[in-house]
Structure 1
Amino acid sequence: MKLYRLHTFQKLPISREKAWDFLSDPSNLKEITPEHMGFTILSGADRKMYPGQIIQYIVKPFPWMSVKWVTEITHVEEGVYFVDEQRFGPYSLWHHKHFIKEVEGGVEMEDIVDYKLPFGILGRIMHALVVKKQLQQIFAFRKDKLVQLFGPYGSDTRVLEMKAT
C-alpha cells in the first residue's frame, strides 16, 4: 500500500477568528478551488462545520470526468483545527487535517493530507503522472486565492511538501 502526504503551510495577516470564520464555512470551499475543477456543493454546506457533518460535492478532476465526493467532518476544535475524511469519492483514503495557530501579525494555517489511490500499480503511475501535480496546483491556487482575499503576510516563502510514505 502506497500512502502519500501533502503538507502545506501558509501565513495570513488576519486574526484567528477571521481565519476560522472563513475556513469553517463549507460554502467558501468553492471560492478557493480552481474553476476548472467544476466544484459544486450538492448538500451539507448550510452550516458551519461540526463533527458528523456530511458534505456532498461534484468535482471534475478532468474536463471529461465528473466525480461525486462525500466527506465527513470528523473532528472540530473551534478556532484551532478540523478534520475532513472522504466517505465516498476518487481516493481509497483521504484524511485532511486543517490547523490554525496564531503567529505574530496573523495566523499560520497548516494542512496535512494523507491519501491513497486505488488500482495498485496503476494508481501509483497515475500519481506520478497526474495526481501529485494536480494536487500541488490546487493547493497553490488556494494559497494565491487566500492572499487575494486577505493580503500577503510578509515574506511567507514556505512551499508545498509532498511525500510518499
Structure 2
Amino acid sequence: MRTQTLTYTQVIPAEIDEVWSFFANPLNLERITPPDIHFTITTPVRGEELHEGMKISYMLSPILSLPLRWVTGITRVEKPERFEDEQVEGPYEYWHHRHEFTPVENGVMMTDTIEYRIPYGPFGELLDVLFINRRLDEVFRYRQKKVEEIFGFAEAV
C-alpha cells in the first residue's frame, strides 16, 4: 500500500507556551480522543512532558470495538515548535505523526500531519478505504472540536 498523508490545521487562541504545555502532556490525549474509542494510556506518565526517546503505550478500540495495543515513540522534540511520534508497535505498517505549533496573529496555528501505511497489500487498501481513513478523519475532527471547547475558537489566518 502507498503511504497516506492527512493534514489538519487549527488556530488556537492562546499563547504558544500554553498550547505546548497542553499537547506535550500525554495525559491530555485522553481528553481529546473520542470516547467510543475507549482510549487509555497504559504507560505511567503522571503528567510527564514529552521527550525524545519516550515510549507511550495505549489500549484502544478504534474500529468495531476490537481492542488494540499500540506503542508510539517520541522521535523529535523542538520545544515549543514541534514534536513527532512514530509507531513502535501496533496496527500500521508505518505511522508518523508530526505536531507543529506556529505563533500567528490570533494565537497559535497547530498543524497535525499524519503519514501512515496499512499492511496486508490489497486487503489493507480495502480496509483503509472502507474504515481506517474515514475513522482517522473522524478522530482528528473530534480533536479539533475538543480543542475549541478547551481553548475557545479563533478565526483561521
TM bin, normalised by shorter chain, reads over 0.9
Contact 1:85 1:96 in 2 (8 A): yes
Per-residue deviation, residues 15-70 of structure 1 (Å, max 9, x unmatched): 00010000000000000000000100000523100000010000101243100000
Query: How far apart, in 2, do the equivalents of 1:104 and 1:76 lie?
Result: 24
TM-score, scaled relative to structure 2: 0.96
1:2 CA displacement: 1.1
Aligned counterpart, 1:79: 80
Note if 1:128 corresponds to 2:129. Answer: yes
Aligned counterpart, 2:2: 2
Please give the residue correspondences for 1:36-115 in structure 2 after superposition, counting only pairs within 5 Å: 36-46=36-46, 47-115=48-116
Percent of matched pairs sharing the same residue: 35
Contact 1:44 1:53 in 2 (8 A): no
Matched residue of 1:136: which SS? helix
Aligned counterpart, 1:140: 141
Per-residue deviation, residues 115-160 of structure 1 (Å, max 9, x unmatched): 0001100010111111111011000000000000000002x39xxx
RMSD of aligned Cα (Å): 1.2
Following TM superposition, where does structure 1 have runs of at least 4 consecutive aligned residues deviating by more than 3 angstroms? none
Query: How far apart, in 2, do the equivalents of 1:30 and 1:3 lie?
Result: 26
Q: How many aligned positions are there?
A: 156
Structure 1 unaligned blocks of 5 or more: 158-165
TM-score, scaled relative to structure 1: 0.91
